[in-house]
Structures are given as C-alpha cells and as structure tokens.
Amino acid sequence: MADDRHDPYVSLRNRDFLWYVASLVAMTLGTMVQATVVGWQVYAITRNPLALGLVGLAEALPFIGAALYAGHVADLYDRKRLSLVAIGVQTVAAGLLLAFSLRPEVLANRRVWPIYAVVFLSGLARSFLQPARTALGAEIVPRETLANAVAWRSSLWQFGAVVGPALGGLLYGFSGAKLAYGVEAALCLLGLVLFARIAYTPAPVVPNQLSIRENLTVGIRFLLTQPELLGAQVLDLFSVLFGGAPALLPIFADILKVGPQGLGVLRAAPAVGAVLMSVVLAHRKLRGAGRTLFVCVALFGLCWIVFAVSRSFWLSLALLAFSGMVDNVSVVIRSTLLTVRTPPELLGRVSAVNQIFIGSSNEIGSFESGVAAKLLGVVYSVVFGGLVTLGVVGVTAWKTPALRKLDELS
C-alpha cells in the first residue's frame, strides 16, 4: 500500500476536513467580495488613496490587537464553538454593509466612517476565528498528513480568493453594492452552516501553572526557539508589508482604465496563480524549501516593481498571477512549518503570533501602501516597496542560515 505521506488526496477523504474546507471556501468568497466592494466603494466616495489605506488600518487594529488573547482563548476553550461565534459576527458585519447600501443616506456627504466601523468589527471577529480555526484544522486530520492538509487548505482558500474578487467586481460593476453585499451575507451564512457540520470533540485542556501574561506570550517564546519558522515569519512580514500593494489596485484599475470589472479580475489574478501552484505543491514533495523560499520572495518583489510601471492590462494581469504563484510557495512553507513543528496544545497561541505577522503584513501593509502612495505617488511607492523586499530577502538569508539550509518541511 502507498504511504499516506505520498498520497496527494489523503486529506480529501477525511469527511470532517471536507466540511472544514467547504466552509473555508464559502467564508473566503464572502470576505473577498467584501474587500473588493469596500475598496472600490470607499475610493469612489473619497477619491483618496489614503482612504484605502485606512480600510486596512481599520481591520488591522483589532485583528492584531486582540491576537494574543484570541490565541489564549483558542487553547483554553472549544475551538469549534469559538469559530462558529466568530463566523456569526462576520455574518452580522456583512448584514450591516448590506443595510448601509439599502439606506444610502448613511454614506451621504462623503461619509465613510460607518464602513470603517464595520470593517473594524469584521477584523475583531477574524482575530478570534483565525487561531481557533487553524488549530482545529490541525486536530481533525492525522498529524502525519498535516503537510498534505495544509497544501489542500491553501489551494482551496486560493480558489475562493480567485473567484471572490472577480465575483465582487462583477456584482458591484453590473448590479451595485446591494446585490454584492447580499451575496456576501449569504456566503458567510453558508460558511456558518458548513462549519457546524464538523464532528469535533474538544481535546482535554492541558492544565498549566502559567500566569495570564505568560500564557499570552508563550507563542512568542516558542517561536524564538524555532529559527527556521521565525525566519520564515519575518521574511513574509516585511516582504508583503513593503513588496505588495493590493490595497492600491483600485487606483491601478483607474490607470489601466478597466473599471470595477477589471478591478475584480486584477484582484483575482494573484489567487489564480496561487491555485495553480498550490495544486502542484499538493502533488509533490517540496525539497530545498529554504532556498526555494528566498528565490520566490525575491521574484515576488520583482513582479510588483514591473507591475508598477506597466501600462498594459494583460502584462499587469500576468505579473499579478505570477506573483501569486511565488507567494503561495512561501505561504505553504510557512504554514506547514507552523503546523508540524508546534505542539497541539500550543497551536492556538502560536497561530495567534503568526496572525500578528499576517495582519501586520497585509492590513498594516495596506495602510503603508496608502501613506506611501500619498507621499511618493502610486508608481514610485510600489517600486520602492519592491526594492525594499529584495533587500529584506538578502538580509534574512544572511541572518538565518538555518532557514537557508532547510530541505524538507517534515
């Protein structure tokens, strides 16, 4: 019989994992629709790139600020129940955005703070959902198949990330915000129902004598003992923080003269590339992981440099797709390392620290992109960010030889 570690479909034969990833796809579709429509709507109201950055900041503040406590809660209480509550809050947030679109006077006179308030609520829900769902995902599959499960989870998440932005752009472009937010609310509700189908029995909580403060920081202390994992986190943090500028895509859609429909396609392009790459990674064993990671992050930075100066929609689309392919390699390497090297009883707290890195790079990166675009101009800010990414790759490779020499993820 074939060894499960070499069976690319072993995780997909797990019934609970199928419910898990089905819910993940539905939620990803909903949140991507929201991100696309909110970005275009805020820019249409304000015509200010800084306003787009503030959308990222509104989500990052609660997402990062509550992360350590959320990880502590995820290791202390029923992870399925906690995830369901967080998904429910995200569903309510989608309903509020729908309500705003049904009452246009709420956003009259260039007033966008109600949207920021809902994005803040959504970020808080995601802060608790992320560590609980990640830790639960590691519990419902055998530990020897975790690498395979992470690859498929990434692939199916990326599928949602492909369809979601395009769906959001098309819905908003042809039917307006009402239908788009209505579809988002329905997808979040579907995600809630699917997640509830997971047959999950919480593992007994491992008692400890640590204080609340020590419990909140144990994930950080654990990461400091894992140089390869810490190096991968730092590399991802700074490369995405400076190297990518997805928050500015509404402006580039304007530059390329493709409208909200084109914006949806541009937002989906990185995920298209990521889906293709994640399927490849699910079918093969990745070797030379450390060297591959550094090469891919460097290529990610180069893609955004060329994208910034491109005035061809098709070239820009190809660059974004390729950036998604190489970025997905770093996502799979980092996620697999996190999952296979963390004890199950620490997964919530360590995932919360990982969440801080992700939130810092994505949401605060959106704010950084908006500020840089305001100060330097859109094109120069993205070129500068790509050059910073190349510098980060060089410094990280020099300072973390253990990561550079990493071969197999298992």
CA dist 354 and 48 (Å) reads 31
Torsion sign across C-alpha atoms 201, 188, 278, 331: negative
Residue type, 70: A
pLDDT, tens only, 101-155: 888 776 766 678 888 899 999 999 998 998 899 889 888 888 778 777 887 887 7
Q: List the helix and strand counts (H, then E) for the chain.
A: 17, 0
204, burial (CB in 10 Å: exposed 0-12, middle 13-18, buried 19+): exposed
- What are the structure tokens assigned to 255, written together? 């530059």
User: Is the separation of the CB atoms in 23 and 195 below 8 Å?
Assistant: yes
What pLDDT does residue 92 have? 95
Please tell me whether residue 258 adopts helix, strand or coil conformation: coil
CA dist 153 and 137 (Å) reads 9
Residues of the chain with pLDDT under 50: 1-5
CA distances from 400 to 216, 235, 331 (A): 26, 10, 18
User: Is the separation of the CB atoms in 20 and 26 below 8 Å?
Assistant: no
Q: Taking the model in full, what pTM does it have?
A: 0.75
CATH number of 4-198+214-404: 1.20.1250.20
What pLDDT does residue 409 have? 65
User: Is the separation of the CB atoms in 80 and 129 below 8 Å?
Assistant: no
What pLDDT does residue 1 have? 36
Torsion sign across C-alpha atoms 126, 158, 331, 10: positive
Residues 6+ apart with CB under 8 A from 257: none
pLDDT, tens only, 215-254: 667 777 887 788 888 888 888 777 777 766 777 888 888 8
The closest alpha carbon to 129, from 87, 170, 100, belongs to 87
> Helix axis angle, 49-65 relative to 15-46, nearest 10°?
140
CA atoms within 13 A on the CB side of 302: 9
CA dist 82 and 85 (Å) reads 5
Domain boundaries, the chain: 4-198+214-404
Local structure of residue 108 (DSSP, 8 states) = T
**N-to-C CA span, the chain:** 21
CA distances from 111 to 105, 108, 117, 154, 251 (A): 9, 6, 12, 37, 20
What pLDDT does residue 263 have? 82
